[in-house]
Amino acid sequence: RDMIAIVDYGMGNLWSVEKAFRKMGYAVSVTRDGDEIARADAMVLPGVGAFGDCVRSLEELGLNEPIVRHIDDGTRFLGLCLGSQVLVERSEESPGMRGLGVFEGGVVKFSADSGGLKIPHMGWNNVRILKRAPHLRGVADGAHAYFVHSYYVECDLRELAATSTEYGDEFASSVWRDNVFATQFHPEADSDGFAVRIGIYRNSGYFAPRDADRLIKMCHAANVHAPQMILKNFVNKYRRG
């Protein structure tokens, strides 16, 4: 089986990400070992917290180079929330701190006059599909996803964004290029976005396509809002063959 490395740099929602993958029956290693990350078949970089703290932790643990090498080698990469922001070069949140530089550009804060909306942006919101990235196959345009953030990746939506979301400003809620897919939202915490979770994980190569498509259709047909139960039922059946 493919080994999925979840990068442990001392911050982030590691438990919920690990749990989501294990519930689907995948081999997961939560690790801060650079060699293990470089050898992994796929890598997940989660994150909750500040840009500067994340970058500093990655540097202190010597993980910057293995992560960038993993991406440059064409190996599957999935960034979640802060794990998407550190892919760019800089952030208004932490002036002077340099990100991984996988993508050009920076991270900016929601404007204070965003229509009277509260910052941080927290809760369920729609994602509008701009590009049919393979990770989004089977995901409905306008599906709901869960957000907790005050900053977002500023980019040309036509160039890098796979989905966008409105919160005062229209921002890139996911970015995609080649083997790299990263979301500002939390697919591991999804609700009626069952299709978002299954679609992204399946199309990242972590999920059997035929079984995933069947479950997505079941979800839409039944309007299911309990992805954990469906995932559990799927994994039990999948393990029996």
Q: Which residues are part of the catalytic machinery?
A: 81, 186, 188
Residues 9 and 37 sit within 8 Å (Cβ to Cβ): no
SS (H, E, C) the chain: CCEEEEECCCCCCHHHHHHHHHHCCCEEEEECCHHHHHHCCEEEECCCCCHHHHHHHHHHCCCHHHHHHHHHCCCEEEEECHHHHCCCCEECCCCCCCCCCCCCCEEEECCCCCCCCCCCEEEEEECEECCCCHHHCCCCCCCEEEEEECEEEECCCCCCEEEEEEECEEEEEEEEECCEEEECCCHHHCCCCHHHHHHHHHHHHHCCHHHHHHHHHHHHHHCCCCHHHHHHHHHHHHHCC
Query: What is the rounded CA–CA span in Å between residue 199 and residue 196?
Result: 5
